[in-house]
A and B are shown apart, each in its own frame.
Chain A
Amino acid sequence: MSATTAMEVNVEARRILAVSISKLYASRTQRGGLRLHRSLLLSLVMRSARDIYHSSRESEGPSGAQPATEEPMDTSSNPGEQTRLSEPQQEPQPALNSAEMAPEEPDNTEDCCDGEITEDKENLSPTRQSRKRRGKASAAPDFLPSKRARLEPGEERYAAPLGSCRVGAGESLTTLSLNRVIPAF
């Protein structure tokens, strides 16, 4: 697979993931309750989008902006060590911001904002161990902003304007949706 095709597939996979998450949240407020069949199909699409995203990133290889340090995903891996590509963050953000997650999850927004302000306390070390247990299936695409603000390697700390506060989804939400969408109701 050429680098450009891999990038296209990459973009496509991310877009589908964002769309799927917004559908999942929208289905919570649907009349008649969560539909099991629909939730299952959504989670299947998300899973294959995530798998294709990861495999296309693997094939990108050394031409990618960052090494794929999150592979392989297993419970022993330290999620705190995940490095994130700065470039893909910009693209899914408009999709996520316009998704229904913003009104659905105002508490996450506040967390993010708080995280930004108190980042000194919360982010003493980029490799801080997270206590959260992550299953095999919970490999979250690193482009989705996490709840906690993290430093890019080489980045200086500075007062982040509120505009860059990231709305809604974090790794934990993707984890939630992939693993917990079914037992969630």
Chain B
Amino acid sequence: MGEDTDATPTLNHRGFLPDHNYVTEADIISTVEFNHTGELLATGDKGGRVVIFQREPESKTEPFSQGEYNVYSTFQSHEPEFDYLKSLEIEEKINKIRWLPQQNAAHFLLSTNDKTIKLWKVSERDKRPEGYNLKDEEGRIKDISTVTSLQVPVLKPMDLMVEVSPRRVFANAHTYHVNSISVNSDYETYMSADDLRINLWHLDITDRSFNIVDIKPANMEDLTEVITAAEFHPHHCNLFVYSSSKGTLRLCDMREAALCDKHSKLFEEPEDPSARSFFSEIISSVSDVKFSHSGRYLLTRDYLTAKVWDLNMESKPLETYQVHDYLRSKLCSLYENDCIFDKFECAWNGSDSVIMTGAYNNFFRMFDRNTKRDVTLEASRESSKPRAVLKPRRVCAAGGKRRKDDISVDSLDFTKKILHTAWHPTENIIAIAATNNLYIFQDKLNSEMH
């Protein structure tokens, strides 16, 4: 499975200095998302920029250099803002990017920071009109006396230019920090979720939104849980799911009521009383939730595990995968260095047979749901020469039996965390964000999904 993964050249568009460990904070990648065909890959960073990569079409002359991703467009999506009423600075960090399904030649994506969602149009221009009557090629106004005849301007080819323009700005709808956006399968609406509320928007209307979930208690002192992620069902436009900091998932049906505070289904695993510790609540908080492509399953990630849930079974998850259980005894130190608050994302492959999520030390893990095999791989410059095959890694407990190339728990670098990963919708291509570097791996031998 993962053992045959090839590495394409690391796409470092940031300016990483190999001699130093210094990383500009603005360059830290904060979200990664393929579009619906996988032709485009968008990344957002802490500095509010979005970089879009495009896959080169397969070359007939060189069949092995199929589809590498190159930079297509870069633009500044969000700027830092200041809320004067609350004396708060609003970070420009891009929390999420979601692509709209393509309906014409242009591409559209939604990007959001803590407070404002923006719809961007990405279009190509490869022709320009030439032969104006009143102005010359440089745009200078012609002297009228020199114009002796009329000509019709014609479109001539030009170098490809990618233009990005903001088409909509959806602002002032969230009191708390936006953590998720999700486009509905009706292609007309989308939702945005913050810590306590979820709003439903129409893509064409920016001055109002509908509040569909509100879990803010009357008295904030009674607050016990917040919304951590939300997503629409891939096929049923009335269904969506949201996860909470308590580790629960709620499936809501918008047909039942205007305000979906009451869930249709509640997915919750009973807590194991023997595993209780100071940090039980923190590690059970769900950091990401994703519907499977089929719409039949849910994938969730909490601090130590990834779980697959069947929509028809609310009592417990269908499968539980240990991502890095060796950290369970280290929760106190991870609390002190703030790592316990890290929010890892998770991803399905196109056929819903493999799930993937990140970990520390630039490791990421893949679990095959059918064979029950799992693999740990590393995204690093040293181990990812172009065309190199990734070597599986292993973490052994401190003091345990060590094989060559194993790494012990105590040697893990907790500053190198892979929070954001994405899987191509149909092929075995994955995008891994490791701090300020983006790695794209392709499985050349097993290109077909199975």
A interface residues, Cβ below 8 angstroms from B: 12-13, 16, 19, 23, 31-33, 35-38, 40-41, 44-45, 48-49, 52, 179-180, 182-183, 185
Contact = CB atoms under 8 A, between A and B. Distances in A.
Nearest to A178: B221
Interface of B: 86, 88-91, 93, 114, 176-177, 195-196, 220-221, 223-226, 228, 245, 278-282, 285, 332, 335-336, 338, 341
Contact of B223 (A32, A45, A48, A182): A182
Interface of B is mostly: loop
B104 to A, nearest CB: 36
Given A33-B86, A40-B245, A48 B281 contact: yes
The 10 closest A-B pairs by CB, nearest first: A32-B91, A33-B88, A183-B220, A36-B195, A44-B281, A182-B220, A37-B226, A41-B282, A182-B223, A48-B278
Contact of A16 (B86, B91, B335): B335
A183 B281 CA distance: 20
Among A13, A36, A52, A185, the most chain B Cβ lie within 10 Å of the Cβ of A36
A86 B338 CA distance: 31
Contacts of A36: 176-177, 195-196, 223, 226
A40 B341 CA distance: 11
Contacts, number: 67
A73 B396 CA distance: 46
A33 B89 contact: yes
A16 B280 CA distance: 14
Given A32-B91, A45-B278, A19 B245 contact: no
A24 B176 CA distance: 18
B177 A183 contact: no
Nearest to B83: A33
Nearest to A44: B281
A48 B93 CA distance: 33
A45 B334 CA distance: 13
B278 A35 contact: no
Given A32-B91, A45-B278, A49-B278, A40 B226 contact: yes
B41 to A, nearest CB: 26
Contacts of A180: 221
B335 A45 contact: yes
Given A48-B281, A182-B221, A35 B335 contact: no
Nearest to B113: A32
A183 B221 CA distance: 7
A52 B88 contact: no
Contacts of A35: 177
A32 B338 CA distance: 17
9 contacts: A13-B278, A16-B278, A32-B91, A36-B177, A36-B196, A37-B226, A38-B341, A48-B280, A48-B281
Most buried by B among A12, A19, A32, A45: A32
Contacts of B93: 32
A159 B15 CA distance: 61
A41 B90 contact: no
B335 A32 contact: no
